[in-house]
A = this chain, B = another copy of it.
Amino acid sequence: MGRPRSETARRAILGAAMSGLQEHGYAALTMQGIAAAAGVGKQTIYRWWPSKADVVLDGLVEFADERIAVPDTGSLPGDLAEFLVATFRQRGQRPVLIGLMAEALLDPVFARAFRDRFLFARRAALRQILDRAAGRGEIAAGIDPDLLIDVVYGVLWYRLMLDHAPLDEAAGRQLTDLLVRTVS
């Protein structure tokens, strides 16, 4: 019964969205523009995504191949360093992340989707590392792991947004040192 959803259209839309974003920035991205670039009717986009932010979020998940590797070196400093360096290395996605966050700040409905589908997944990965470290006794009692997570992603997003300080490998190591010092 009924014609099935066109995979071709789906891919064209996500592709057009991501490349339009890279070229002209999130602010210049429009549903109209995505549809035109994808050779697709606007309705076809609206049928499957409620807003351009949701398209981009799907595009991010689809293209930027988001396996979040959870390293397991056997010690907190090792795990943390590897995780942070890997995370900070994805700085190339800045335009995408910045745009999605902007949208989330303006639209509470999308904010929920962004949190649940993207941000919380990242938190969970880091949480795993911290839990393992706690099991090994590497984290002093009385330290709230959630606060630690907020510190990590807080610094990450704050620097991503302000662009006032580097977000590179060295920064990853510096933050690792600070955290290890804190919890021990």
A interface residue numbers (CB < 8 A to B): 25-27, 98-99, 101-107, 111, 115, 119, 143-144, 146-147, 150-151, 153-159, 161-165, 174-175, 178, 181-182
Bound together, the chains give a CA A150 to CA B164 distance in angstroms of 10
Closest CB in chain B relative to A43 CB, distance in Å: 11
List the number of copies, as a whole number. Answer: 4
Bound together, the chains give a CA A146 to CA B137 distance in angstroms of 29
- Which residues of chain B are within 8 angstroms of A157 by Cβ–Cβ distance? 154, 157-158, 161
Bound together, the chains give a CA A182 to CA B183 distance in angstroms of 8
B182-A101 in contact (CB<8A): no
Bound together, the chains give a CA A104 to CA B151 distance in angstroms of 22
Given contacts A154-B151, A175-B147, contact A104 B161 (CB under 8 A): yes
A-B contact pairs, 30 of them (CB 8 A): A25-B106, A27-B107, A98-B105, A99-B105, A99-B106, A101-B102, A101-B161, A102-B103, A102-B105, A102-B106, A104-B161, A105-B161, A115-B162, A146-B165, A147-B155, A147-B174, A147-B178, A150-B155, A150-B159, A150-B165, A151-B151, A151-B154, A153-B154, A153-B158, A154-B154, A154-B156, A154-B159, A157-B158, A158-B158, A181-B182
Known A102-B106, A105-B105, A115-B164; further 15 A-B contacts with Cβ < 8 A? A27-B106, A101-B102, A102-B103, A104-B161, A105-B161, A115-B162, A144-B174, A146-B165, A147-B175, A150-B165, A151-B151, A151-B155, A153-B154, A153-B158, A154-B158
Bound together, the chains give a CA A23 to CA B100 distance in angstroms of 24
- Which residues of chain B are within 8 angstroms of A111 by Cβ–Cβ distance? 163
- Which residues of chain B are within 8 angstroms of A153 by Cβ–Cβ distance? 154, 158
- Which residues of chain B are within 8 angstroms of A147 by Cβ–Cβ distance? 155, 174-175, 178
